[in-house]
Amino acid sequence: MSMLAAMTPTVTLRPVVHADRELLIAVYASTRAEELAPVPWDDAQKDAFIRMQFGAQDGYWREHKPCAEFCVVLVDGEPAGRLYLDRLADEIRIVDVALLPAWRGRGIGTTLLRDVLEEGRDAGLAVTIHVEQGNRARGLYERLGFRPISTAGVHHLMQARP
């Protein structure tokens, strides 16, 4: 085994189960930490807000995307984040991709996105994702071939064509 192969983590997916709720809340909380940092709430108030917002988001996605695949991202078997995909007739929509802070900046998101892009190429389908204005991940999406195709409020719909 080469040194590079020994250092490359194995990234896999598994379906979300009920027992993953606290993990998924932690992933969601990590995506809102910067936004909530200046808010003058104590930790209990911030936690209650995060749980309420996570519940609303999760409920919305499950109601409006009943065929979506909700997965936990595993890195060398350890839970590291979430990847939600909605495979439609004419595109693969990345509903959400997020990693816990300890796993960011290590190429894991790139691996996940490349796998989805490869699936899209193999199926002859575009891959799309909504990106909030100012999201630092936008640079990664652009490097992987995503281009903005529309804007609604603070969200840009980006697309990578096969």
Q: Could you tell me where the DSSP H helices lie in 43-132? A: 43-64, 108-123
Topology of domain 11-160, CATH: Aminopeptidase (3.40.630)
Quote the pTM value.
0.92
Q: What is the pLDDT of residue 108?
A: 96
Domain boundaries, the chain: 11-160
Chunked mean pLDDT (size 10), the chain, 162 residues: 64 98 98 93 97 98 96 98 97 97 95 97 97 91 96 95 92
Q: What is the pLDDT of residue 141?
A: 96
Buried b / exposed e along 15-33 (16+ C-beta atoms within 10 A): ebeeebeebbbebbbbbee
Q: What is the pLDDT of residue 6?
A: 53
